[in-house]
A and B are shown apart, each in its own frame.
Chain A
């Protein structure tokens, strides 16, 4: 992993030309929506990986890096869109420069082009998770267990294990299918052997009896047992060079055709009728609700939906609903989804029962066609061939339905019509063929017995071979299932160990960011072969999925904590870089400082690049020492890209507008900056603000109370210095308080605070020199409230955050005013 020192972006996304200096330290980017913050995130991801998740991930249909990464005015000049990053690679102790253009996203220039540097950058490419947006963070939390398993395993670099599970599952399924196929082949060969002796059942005793009856006719020795080496023809003399072998053995053809004729002379067997009817009923049930198949597949989704119904409105679009009614509706759906699953299992069994006799009929018709063509003259076979085509089509359609379960109508058509009785023309051809075979000259009883034994021997050998194959396939099926089971158990056992460690870190992190109300919080990651369940405690009431009861803000917090725990486990001390793109937008202000502390204390060696649209949040990052550098984005236009400034630059910018005599613009900038500062100072100084339920405070609500608080804290500092007999400090604070009064008076706060909206309008109407005085007054006032160390310049803040104030201090520690007046 790396730490970024500088970023140079040209003609990329909404940015025309931008340079950022990060100095390998954590960095904040702040600006309203649509000002180009995420363009910087995209640029970092693109330069390091060649990809932009926003343009290539889920929901990006029709978008591509090459077409849409360049600035809109350069969309046909991808060569002009480029990003250059300089960075250090701590593990190698090297510096690197990486340059990539959109024209060749897969290629990048790298200096130095060393193999270890290349390996480090390629490693980054395999794990784009260093850049995390809110949309991505939620995928670890609000996601079905199966999907979460994939996401988490990808992040943990365990996708190899998931791929291996899929391979072994495919292997096991294939062995199961082959075993079933071999079983069907065995049944067909059993039917053939039964036909040869014209018997209805196949037992060793009956088979041996029939063999010996024919052998007796030929005066051959009785066989006493049946084994795999048994030859029905033992002792039979087949004259070498005897009469030419006939094209058709009457006895064989007669047996097969008689069996076929006998079958089609009877009604369809009741078992077949029953299975067809059951299959038809099940298929029609599926068809009756056209979405029912989808429903079966959506079971996990419905379960998640049930978990998410906590309020009387949709968490996404706020549409109102009756939570109880909706839950009942989903429960019914869930129930029917389970029923459908059972139905599908039963349907599969019914169809398999249909496939066996269908295969036997196909084989019988193939033989009939063969016999019809062996006769002289041959019997017309067109109708039989058509019948064979129909039967094979049905077999294919049923098999296909078992595979993908989509062609319900086709499957209904197949099972609705009985194929058992051939059409009249087809029947006529079978009868004609049978008659022609019967009309063949009779052979002697001895020759007949001889032919039966020869045919039966062929079929017996085929049966034995199919039995061997079937037995072997059964063993393979069992072994494959055992192998898959062993793998799943081993994987689950190892992953549980990993997830236990990740869970432990996750819980600790979550407790840190919710130190006020979640100290007893627990969570649990449960690994199963194809899913990863995630449940968290809800205030001691039990474990539930995160989306069940926790607020969006808490879910965001959980997402971040799980992400950090996973990254720590994956990269350990190489977790040196992460981009968090507005990931904490719904975390409430009370917990944001805790998030900063968590990142600071647990990941001191990680460079975080954080974007936010909330300036107060940015200030927290600074106050808590998470970042000491930032840039503010604003005033984006398609022609110029984002306008970027830091806190210091704002005065330069206001002055620049004044120099151009644009008082209105300067007034607007000053107002925005004062609003920003007043929010931060109100929080830092624990200002006493009149509470408002909507949480919206304007400048008039905040600034007078901030300044009042400021003077109060200075006075308290004076009293404290007096208590502790620190005369020099007291003198200094008295002077500072007098200066504060003077500066506040100059800014005429009390006057405009009564009616701030009028005041702002008045500002815009001031002459340039008049407004210059206002600007100078506020600049001096705000400067007065910062640490005077030019390297710090942070806003002062009160410690602790709650209970009795003890200290007013800056970030660097140079300014530290004791507020305690008792020991």
Chain B
């Protein structure tokens, strides 16, 4: 059990995120920059919202890019 459950994700959650990120990096259809942005929000304490995931993967500032 983590020292403070409210301050960091558990080791198991971390393990899933590691594997998830690795699988996405091996997928040519997903840009690395998008994965970087998604990883950043996934590592935070709270679960991101769907629109935050959307913004991370399809950066609205880069309109026209998937």
Contacts and interface: CB of A to CB of B under 8 A. Distances in A.
Interface of A: 119, 122-123, 126, 156-158, 160-161, 163-164, 167-168, 170-171, 174-175, 468, 472, 475-476, 478-480, 482-483, 486-487, 489-491, 493-495, 498, 570-572, 574
A489 B16 contact: no
Given A164-B47, A167-B53, A476-B66, 10 more contacts: A157-B10, A157-B12, A158-B12, A158-B13, A161-B16, A168-B50, A168-B53, A486-B20, A486-B27, A489-B23
B45 to A, nearest CB: 9
A475 B28 CA distance: 13
A119 B4 contact: yes
Contacts of A489: 23
Contacts of B38: 483
Contacts of B66: 472, 475-476, 479
A160 B47 contact: yes
Contacts of A498: 12
A570 B15 CA distance: 15
Contacts of A123: 1, 4-5
A479 B29 contact: yes
Contacts, number: 90
A168 B54 CA distance: 9
Interface in B1-50: 1, 3-6, 9-10, 12-13, 15-16, 19-20, 22-24, 27, 29-30, 34, 38, 42, 47-50
A174 B55 CA distance: 13
A177 to B, nearest CB: 12
A494 B21 CA distance: 13
Nearest to B26: A486
User: Which of the listed residues A158, A163, A487, A493 has the most CB atoms from chain B within 10 Å of its own CB?
Assistant: A487
8 contacts: A122-B6, A123-B1, A157-B1, A161-B12, A171-B50, A171-B53, A486-B23, A574-B1
Contacts of B10: 157-158, 160
A173 to B, nearest CB: 9
A741 B54 CA distance: 86
- The 7 tightest CB contacts between A and B, nearest first, are A490-B19, A475-B66, A490-B20, A486-B23, A171-B50, A163-B47, A170-B50
Contacts of B54: 171, 174-175
Contacts of B42: 164
Given A164-B47, A480-B57, A468 B12 contact: no
B20 A482 contact: no
A486 B3 contact: no
Contacts of B58: 476, 479
A165 to B, nearest CB: 10
Nearest to B54: A171
Contacts of A157: 1, 5, 10, 12
Nearest to A572: B1
Interface of B: 1, 3-6, 9-10, 12-13, 15-16, 19-20, 22-24, 27, 29-30, 34, 38, 42, 47-50, 53-54, 57-58, 64, 66
User: Which of the listed residues B4, B13, B20, B23 has the most CB atoms from chain A within 10 Å of its own CB?
Assistant: B20
Given A158-B10, A167-B53, A572-B1, A483 B47 contact: no
Contacts of A491: 16, 20
A119 B3 CA distance: 8
A490 B16 contact: yes
Contacts of A468: 64
Contacts of A479: 29-30, 34, 57-58, 66
A494 B16 contact: yes
A476 to B, nearest CB: 6
A57 B6 CA distance: 23
Nearest to A173: B50
Nearest to A473: B66
A160 B13 contact: yes
B58 to A, nearest CB: 6
A475 B13 CA distance: 28
A404 to B, nearest CB: 19
Contacts of B23: 486, 489-490
B29 A478 contact: yes
Nearest to A471: B66
A475 B42 CA distance: 22
A571 B10 CA distance: 12
A205 B15 CA distance: 55
A167 B54 CA distance: 10
Nearest to B52: A167
A483 B50 CA distance: 12
Contact of B29 (A482, A493, A495): A482
B13 A161 contact: yes
Nearest to A153: B12
A164 B19 CA distance: 14
B12 A493 contact: no
Nearest to A498: B12
A156 B13 CA distance: 11
User: Which of the listed residues B4, B16, B58, B64 has the most CB atoms from chain A within 10 Å of its own CB?
Assistant: B16
A158 B10 CA distance: 8
Contacts of A164: 42, 47-48
Contacts of A175: 54
A119 B34 CA distance: 36
Contacts of B4: 119, 123
A612 B48 CA distance: 45
B15 A494 contact: yes
A133 to B, nearest CB: 23
User: Which of the listed residues B1, B9, B23, B54 has the most CB atoms from chain A within 10 Å of its own CB?
Assistant: B1
User: Which of the listed residues B34, B50, B64 has the most CB atoms from chain A within 10 Å of its own CB?
Assistant: B50
A400 to B, nearest CB: 21
Contacts of A475: 66
Contacts of A572: 1
A156 B64 contact: no
A472 B64 contact: yes
B26 to A, nearest CB: 9
A126 B54 CA distance: 30
Contact of B19 (A174, A482, A494, A574): A494
A515 B42 CA distance: 46
A174 B1 CA distance: 35
Contact of B48 (A158, A167, A482, A487): A167
B50 to A, nearest CB: 4
B20 A487 contact: yes
Contacts of B48: 164, 167
A605 to B, nearest CB: 15
A175 B12 CA distance: 28
A160 B20 contact: no
B50 A174 contact: yes
Contacts of B6: 122
A475 B66 CA distance: 6
B49 A486 contact: no
Nearest to A477: B66
Contacts of B13: 158, 160-161
Nearest to B10: A157
Nearest to A170: B50
Contacts of B47: 160, 163-164, 167
A491 B15 CA distance: 9
A572 B6 CA distance: 19
